[in-house]
Amino acid sequence: MVRTQFQLDDDTYEALREAAHNRRTSMSAIARDILRQHLGECTHPEAVSGTDLLKKHPWIGMGKSGETDISIRHDDYLAEDFLDIP
């Protein structure tokens, strides 16, 4: 294992500290898991799957429109909605 240092703002540090306390593990273990998840290599048994995430946060996906190009045409869609306002 390689030792490294990170600079964190106060809010991020407190959130990391609280997460470690709640999970009864080290801040380093939490940071490693977050980095693995972000990099797509998480093998930790407590990693949240997509299904678990939807169970925990059922509001995810509530705004599905059926459109497949929103990331490309978001400005067009917003302009259409703006123009439809009475």
Q: For residues 23 and 27, what is the distance between their CA atoms, to the nearest angstrom?
A: 10
Query: Do you know the residue count of the chain?
Result: 86
Query: What are 29-43's pLDDT values in tens digits?
Result: 889 888 888 887 655
Number of domains within the chain: 1
In a domain, 1, yes or no: no
Q: Is residue 31 part of a domain?
A: yes
In the numeric block, which tokens belong to residue 30?
A: 């939490």
Residue 55 falls within a domain, yes or no? yes
Let me know if residue 75 belongs to a domain.
Answer: yes
Contact status, residue 31 vs residue 6, Cβ threshold 8 Å: yes
Return the number of other C-beta atoms located less than 10 Å from residue 53's C-beta.
11
Q: Is 2 within a domain?
A: no
The answer to whether residue 19 is domain-embedded is yes
Whether the pTM exceeds 0.85: the reply is: no
Q: What is the pLDDT of residues 37-77, one digit of tens each?
A: 888 765 555 555 556 667 777 777 777 777 888 778 878 87
Q: Does residue 53 lie within any of the structural domains? A: yes
On whether the CB atoms of residues 18 and 28 are closer than 8 A, the answer is no
What confidence score (pLDDT) does residue 28 get? 92
Q: Which residue has the higher pLDDT, 86 or 16?
A: 16
Please indicate, yes or no, if residue 27 is contained in any of the structural domains.
yes
The whole domain housing 17 covers 10-83
In angstroms, the CA 86 to CA 80 distance is 12
